[in-house]
Structure 1
């Protein structure tokens, strides 16, 4: 393959570019935002980047393989390595789950991670960034052979006038995210759009940064994640963790009419109504800047694997352009890494690039299925989404509540739960009779950590 073209220079685009660099003589990454910067910063095209993000366990494994030395470099620049048995607290409805040894987490902001990834990717002489945005596909017969682009000026606007410049490519990867226009481009080129599924969640989340003292702990922990189930009457989640430059990043969420606002006093009130680490944060630490908010209306997936041969050759899709999930589950960045892994597996099989990439789309469908079951299908239980639950839904909700109860006192149940959350295994793991039996018999601890 001579030239591969990646549309989008975010997380999905960067890891795809790294994989393509092993198979193409030249990889061009099309990104309208200015990424030629000497330090991490929020990009206009990623409005959610101001909020807390997490790289789940499986995603970290993949990035570690693709980018040797990446994590050491990040730690050297201020990313925080956390041992969850020693440093972390997981809570469900105010009760702390039993600690599980062997899990750690690298904590940093989204701009920090993307900046380091971009530096590593561009070190390869085969990868180059182009400041432009794609405006459509070009085809020879039923094969994509490039894209039309608009160059972006310093103000972020596309160059006006003219039919648009074209960049030729042997393979195009759409990694333009949730707002991808690929469906329109396919229709304009005489192809079908992929079937689309949508599950509304209407979640809002608010994030605030706080000053952190060296070695500081809050209620004995360095990171906390608190989940409020439907039983609480106010479902949602909150989290805090240390990030680079001596800061805490704290997040709180709510659904529908309970979405958080930009008001700092409201942010404090939400933290004070939560677990002790969140309360101590707002009592003991100074806020840095204003509260940032973001609204996520729905999880969406596009089932490209169902199109079969009714899809152009020379084109694949990755990341949120395939599926985007309720961000409270933290699956987005790890799903992008899993898609890149699938891309590498497909390319190593020496596929015929003049044929549709059906084998690739089947691989990523399995990734999406697991993530969808863990997050989007759980959102179907939300009162403002489901309305009155069916008998089957009530049974599923009962089992889910029992699993959460089991995590509070049973280490094996919690270990299995964390493996699913970290996308190391699929949700079927939690349906094993041995896990369900342990969860059903696990006594619920009565002392709430409030």
Structure 2
């Protein structure tokens, strides 16, 4: 392959460029934002970057394979390595889940991670970036053979006409949930992929706080709290240490319970939450305003259902599917898509034919993530309305599994494997796991409130 074009310089695009470095002579990342700043900063094209992000276990494994030594570099620059058992407090409806040994996580802000990743990608011998907006695709004999672009200057301004053409053997759409690929396909005489949408209407509020060296809050260095329907108002909160001596704290709510920008409201939500969140707002100094973000719906584009699709084109990341961010799947799903792209290219495919095998691999990734997040959102009252018998059964099973995580280490371990995308959600339906979870409610009542 001579030339590959990656549309988008976010996490998905950078991971695609890393993979393509092994398969193409020239890889060009097209992105209107400046992705080569001299320090980490929030990009205009990533409005959610002010909020807490997590690279789940499977995503971290993939990045470690693609970028040996990158995580050590980030730890040296201030990222925090946390031990799940020693440092974490994981809560469900105010009750602390049993600790599971043998797992860890790396905590940092999204701009910090993306900056380090971008530097590593653009240091590769066959990758370069170009500030440009993509105006459309170009087609020849039923295949995509390039894109039309408008270059962008340092101020972010650029011509809208897209008269300049870049040729390519493969075009990768990594432009995110706002991808215009459906429109571009129709312009080329193809159908847009069918879309599925599950409205969640979740809102986020995030605030940074000063962190003292070695500081722990209620005995932990990181906390994650979920509230199920049984608590009255479903949602989640989290806090974790990040670079530059800071805590990042987040709280969420759905529909009419979405949090706002008011700091006093943020404090009130934390004071009504689990012990680490209460201690945070009592003892730590805020370092800025509260940032908010609204996520209306999970969306997936089912490319595998198209009967006709042009050769020379693939999509990955949020351009394929974007999920409710409370589950933290986005960056890891993008890493799994990049892994699928690498596997497909290593099979020496004929690039004159559509990338069906690639999209089938990606569909399996999307299906698993969709079952864990979007299908669970269907059970929310403001989404589902009156629950059907089948949905009530799903909710009962989910509640039993939640209870099991509080007292049974094996149930919690399997839950973490699913959440970290190391295995599929069907693992939580194994008879042995369900049996252990069904026993949990009798033991759950013995736990003191707030433990």
Whether TM exceeds 0.5 here: the answer is yes
Could you tell me how far apart the structure 2 residues matched to 1:157 and 1:134 are? Answer: 13
Pairwise mapping of residues 19-98 of structure 1 onto structure 2 (< 5 A)? Answer: 19-98=19-98
Deviation at 1:233, TM superposition (A): 0.6
Cross-structure match for 1:125: 125
Cross-structure match for 1:10: 10
Cross-structure match for 1:287: 286
Cross-structure match for 1:396: 394
Could you tell me how far apart the structure 2 residues matched to 1:179 and 1:155 are? Answer: 22
Cross-structure match for 2:352: 354
Which ranges in structure 2 are unaligned for 5 or more consecutive residues? none
Equivalenced residues, count: 448
Cross-structure match for 1:232: 231
String of CA shifts for 1:197-243, please: whole Å, max 9, x gaps.
00000000000000000000000000000000011110000000000
Asked if structure 2 preserves the Cα contact closer than 8 Å seen for 1:98 and 1:408, the reply is: yes
SS at structure 2 position matched to 1:265: helix
Cross-structure match for 1:332: 330
Asked if structure 1 preserves the Cα contact closer than 8 Å seen for 2:317 and 2:330, the reply is: yes
String of CA shifts for 1:298-346, please: whole Å, max 9, x gaps.
00000001114x0000000000000000000000000000000000000
Cross-structure match for 2:166: 167
Could you tell me how far apart the structure 1 residues matched to 2:36 and 2:434 are? Answer: 51
String of CA shifts for 1:104-140, please: whole Å, max 9, x gaps.
0000000000000011111112000100011100011
Could you tell me how far apart the structure 1 residues matched to 2:127 and 2:5 are? Answer: 10
Deviation at 1:163, TM superposition (A): 5.2
SS at structure 1 position matched to 2:288: strand
Q: Which runs of 4+ in 1 moved over 6 A?
A: none
Deviation at 1:153, TM superposition (A): 1.9
Deviation at 1:24, TM superposition (A): 0.3
SS at structure 2 position matched to 1:199: strand
Asked if structure 2 preserves the Cα contact closer than 8 Å seen for 1:226 and 1:237, the reply is: yes
Could you tell me how far apart the structure 2 residues matched to 1:188 and 1:63 are? Answer: 36
Cross-structure match for 1:250: 249
Asked if structure 2 preserves the Cα contact closer than 8 Å seen for 1:318 and 1:340, the reply is: yes
**Root mean square deviation of aligned Cα:** 0.8
Q: TM-score scaled by structure 2?
A: 0.98
Would the alpha carbon gap of residues 163 and 99 (structure 1) be closer, same or farther in structure 2, given more than 3 Å must change?
closer
Cross-structure match for 1:380: 378
String of CA shifts for 1:143-200, please: whole Å, max 9, x gaps.
100000011122212224x551111110000000000000000011110110110000
Cross-structure match for 1:264: 263
Asked if structure 2 preserves the Cα contact closer than 8 Å seen for 1:153 and 1:159, the reply is: no
Q: TM-score scaled by structure 1?
A: 0.99
Q: Which moved more, 1:439-448 or 1:86-95?
A: 439-448
SS at structure 2 position matched to 1:139: strand
SS at structure 2 position matched to 1:290: coil
Could you tell me how far apart the structure 2 residues matched to 1:143 and 1:192 are? Answer: 14
Cross-structure match for 2:204: 205
Cross-structure match for 1:221: 220
Could you tell me how far apart the structure 1 residues matched to 2:253 and 2:36 are? Answer: 36
SS at structure 1 position matched to 2:216: coil
Could you tell me how far apart the structure 2 residues matched to 1:202 and 1:446 are? Answer: 33
Asked if residue 181 in structure 1 is aligned to residue 180 in structure 2, the reply is yes
Cross-structure match for 2:369: 371
Which ranges in structure 1 are unaligned for 5 or more consecutive residues? none
Could you tell me how far apart the structure 1 residues matched to 2:424 and 2:191 are? Answer: 30
SS at structure 2 position matched to 1:202: strand
Could you tell me how far apart the structure 1 residues matched to 2:113 and 2:382 are? Answer: 35
